[in-house]
Amino acid sequence: MAVKTLDDLLGEGVRGRRVLVRADLNVPLDGEKITDDGRVRAALPTIRSLTEAGARVVVAAHLGRPKGTPDPAFSLRPVAVRLGELLGSEVTLAGDVVGDQAKAAAESLGDGGVVLLENVRFDARETSKSEDERAELARELAALTGDDGAFVSDGFGVVHRKQASVYDVARVLPAYAGGLVLAELEVLRTLTGDPQRPYAVVLGGSKVSDKLAVIEALLPKVDRLLVGGGMCFTFLAAQGHGVGSSLLESDMVDTCKRLLAEAGDKLLLPADIVVADAFAADAAKRTVPVTGIEDGWMGLDIGPTTVAAFGAAVRDARTLFWNGPMGVFEMAPFAHGTRGVASAIAESEAFSVVGGGDSAAAVRLLGLPEDGFSHISTGGGASLEYLEGKELPGVAVLSEER
C-alpha cells in the first residue's frame, strides 16, 4: 500500500477539519531562550500548508526527556511563542497533553488556527513499552481531532521511535506523510541507492558504540570514511596509540581493530589532535601528533593537519554525508576542526547531506552558510538508522493496510 501524502490530504479538503500534526520541535534551550530554531522552521511548510487551506491544526511534539511527568524545565512554551512569531499568528499552548485544557484548546480552534499541545512526553504512555498504554494515549490524541480528523506525520527526527504520537496514532486516524518526512526520505534514498562517486562519509561525535552499526553498514558502500570527534580515540587506541585522558571505549578497541583491518585505506583517522589539560574553554591547550597525547591530557578537537587532509578528501567527493562534530565545537577554542571540515563540505560541489543533531546545530552555531549544503536533516538518529538499513516504524506504519 502506498503512503498517502499531505498533498493527498489537501486534495480531499481540510477546511474546518482538525488535523493532528506530529512535528519535531525538540530544540535546544538556554533557560527559556531557543538557541537553534532550525527544527521549528523546518516544521513551518506543512503547518502553513494546512492553515492556509483552512485546517484547524493541533500540533503534538516533545522536548527533552522529562521522564513521563510534567516538568516546567521541558515546557514547550518557548516553542509556542517562536512558532507563532514565524507563522505570523498566535499559537496557543495547551496546558496539558490530552486533558481538559487540550480538549478545550482544540475545540476552540477556528479555521486556520494552531494549538500546540504541551510536551507529549509529560505523559508516560507516550514512550511506554506497553502497546496497550501507547494505544490508549493514541486514541485520546485522535479524539482531539473529532469525527473527521486526520494525522500528518512530519516529525522526521522521531520516526525511528515506536511511540504513541508517532506510531500508534497512525493506526487510529487516517494517516499522511508530511512534506518534511517525504523530503528527508528522498535524500536518504539518494545516499543508499546509486550515489555519485567518490562517496565520502564524515563521522564524529562521542562514541564508536553509537555509530558502530552505521559504520559497518556504510564501509562496503563508501569510498572514504573519515572519523573524528571523541570516537576517533578508540580507533587510535586500536592502532596502539596512547590517548591520555581522552574519551575511550575500552570495550570497543577490538571492534575498532577489526574495522580498521576491513576498511584498509578507506578509513581516514586524524594525524594530529588539539589536547587540553581540562574539559574547559580556558584550559591549557596545544596541538600534538596522534603519537604524542600524554597522560593527563585529553583530545578535544582535530588538529590543522587533519583538517587539511579531511578537507582534501571532502573536496574530491561527489556525494557526502556528515554526522557528528569533529570536536567540542560548543567551546570556541575547540571549534576549529568542525568549522574547517564543515566549511570544506559547504564549499564542495558534491551532493552533501548534514545528518541532523549536533552537526546541524554546529552549522548554525558556527555561522556557516546553510545553503552551502544540499540538505540539512532534522533527524540524526533517524538518518543513521535508515542508513543502517533499519525499518523506521513511524514511516512503515503509514503504509499499513487498515
**Alpha-carbon gap, residue 149 to 55, rounded angstroms:** 10
Burial 295-318 (b: 16+ CB within 10 A, else e): eebbbbbbbeebbebbbebbeebb
357-365 vs 336-347: helix axis angle to the nearest 10? 90
CB 342 within 8 A of CB 322: yes
Cα torsion angle, 231, 235, 236, 237, sign: positive
Task: Report the binding-site residues for ATP.
Answer: 211, 299, 330, 356-359
Strands (E), 117-238: 150-153, 175-177, 199-203, 224-227
Q: How is residue 152 written as a grid cell?
A: 500528518
Given the residues 48, 207, 315, 364, select the one marked as catalytic: 207
CB neighbour list of residue 359: distance below 8 Å, 6 or more residues apart? 204, 322, 323, 324, 325, 342, 380
Given the residues 17, 18, 39, 224, select the one marked as catalytic: 39
| Among 299, 251, 295, 248, CA closest to 271 | 299
Please say if 39 is a catalytic residue: yes
Given the residues 149, 303, 357, 379, select the one marked as catalytic: 357
| Among 198, 229, 203, CA closest to 217 | 203
Task: Report the binding-site residues for substrate.
Answer: 24-26, 39, 62-65, 121, 161
Please say if 33 is a catalytic residue: no
**Alpha-carbon gap, residue 144 to 59, rounded angstroms:** 11
Please say if 285 is a catalytic residue: no
Task: Report the binding-site residues.
Answer: 24-26, 39, 62-65, 121, 161, 211, 299, 330, 356-359
* Helices and strands: H and E segment counts in the chain: 14, 17
DSSP label at 5?
B
Q: How is residue 334 written as a grid cell?
A: 575547540
CB neighbour list of residue 228: distance below 8 Å, 6 or more residues apart? 202, 203, 204, 270, 302, 306, 310, 324, 325, 326, 327, 337, 341
Given the residues 139, 179, 381, 390, select the one marked as catalytic: 381
HSE-up of residue 90 (Cα within 13 Å, Cβ side): 6
Please say if 207 is a catalytic residue: yes
Q: How is residue 119 written as a grid cell?
A: 510536551
**Alpha-carbon gap, residue 44 to 36, rounded angstroms:** 15
**Alpha-carbon gap, residue 7 to 374, rounded angstroms:** 24
CB 137 within 8 A of CB 144: no
Give catalytic residue positions: 39, 207, 357, 381
